[in-house]
Amino acid sequence: MKIPLSRPDISQKEIKTIIEVLKTPYLSLGSRITEFEEKFSEFIGAKYAIAVSNATCGLHLIVRALEIGDGDEVITTPFSFISSANCILFERAKPVFADIDPDTLTIDSKEIERKVTKRTKAILAVDVFGHPADWDAISRIAHRYGLYLIEDSAEALGSEYKGRKCGTFGDAAVFSFYPNKQITTGEGGMVVTCHKEIAELSRSMANQGRRVKNGSWANHERLGYNYRISEINTALGIAQISRIREILSKRQKVANIYHKKLKGIDGIRIPFVGVDVKMGWFVYVILLSGQYSKKERDKLIKEMAKRGIECRDYFSSIHLQPFYKKLFGYQDNDFPVCERVSARTMALPFYNNLSREDIDYIVNNLQEVLGSV
């Protein structure tokens, strides 16, 4: 058997929608982009949505729109995909890391407040693996110190915290539509916000700095980028977002089967889900117990691959990436919770149409491999 880590769920509806676009003369800057933005903002509950080429670009646009730059500090998590910290460096500001909560794996709100200085301008929190950060506490801290709040919801489409959808807690947020996400546009992302100025600046900068309305194609009002997304990508997104409830239900079903099969197996912890949380599942990441080292975890992943099962470590600690160590002098044990977690995470295959038989095969082999190291 060959079971990939992830696989997009593409139906005939998506294929038909893309073919319809290919029959038109408009492959960029057309009506599909606007339609996708409107449908997405309606689902999330944000006033504005700006479709972009990927979520990293979206984060960069938010940082620029909030005028975060030289000398500023942004408190963020070391346990994330690297773009949530890199977007701060793009504007020569400094990412200041705070350790993570050992259960939710999101930034520890108690650690955030200890990191606030006169230079702090924003908090950038991440809904890790789709689990919401502690938004009540983080919002209180941001309000207390007059800080901007950026939400990286790249992995959290459909997730909710106390009945409110992820992506609606910060001044602005991003989502990702990479093929392993809940919905996909191939490559793509979305900035969402309820602030008109952030929305207009983001839209302008994503389109080479052109005026948002009634502007000449050759007139550039500000420094901008080509962070646009195509009609083809957004046509795919329209079809996918129309199926979002079906997709989220499928992913919940797969997660439930994993929960049942893995519960009680010695040596692993299934994903934690808080009492006030509804998950829009992105990945299914187990945490190996302290008896396993990083070296043994890596061996487990290789052994699973030999059996045709693709697994992966999720995530490597950002502060221990080579260029972060070189730039800031980070060392082992600077963020001990993050490092312990990072050494023992293991993502299992997870996607909409993963069958019960495949999950049985994955779990049975996982048990065998756990007993062999």
Question: Are residues 267 and 289 in contact, defined by beta-carbon separation less than 8 angstroms?
Answer: yes
Residue corresponding to tokens 């807690």: 169
Cβ burial of 179 (10 Å; 0-12, 13-18, 19+) is: middle
Sheet holding 73-76, edge to edge: 48-52, 189-193, 172-176, 148-152, 120-126, 73-76, 94-97
Residue range 290-315: mean pLDDT, rounded: 97
Sign of CA dihedral 21, 25, 29, 35: negative
Q: How confident is the model at residue 217 (pLDDT cuts 50, 70, 90)?
A: confident
pLDDT in tens, 247-270: 999 999 999 999 999 998 999 999
CB atoms within 10 A of CB 225: 16
Report pTM. Answer: 0.97
Question: Are residues 280 and 157 in contact, defined by beta-carbon separation less than 8 angstroms?
Answer: yes
Helix (H, G, I), strand (E, B) or coil at 353: coil
Q: What is the β-pairing status of strands 345-348 and 73-76?
A: unpaired
Write down all domains in the chain, each with its CATH number in brackets. 12-98+105-242 (3.40.640.10), 244-370 (3.90.1150.10)
Has residue 316 got a pLDDT over 80?
yes
Q: What is the CA radius of gyration of the chain?
A: 21
pLDDT in tens, 139-176: 999 999 999 999 999 999 999 999 999 999 999 999 99
Has residue 215 got a pLDDT over 80?
no
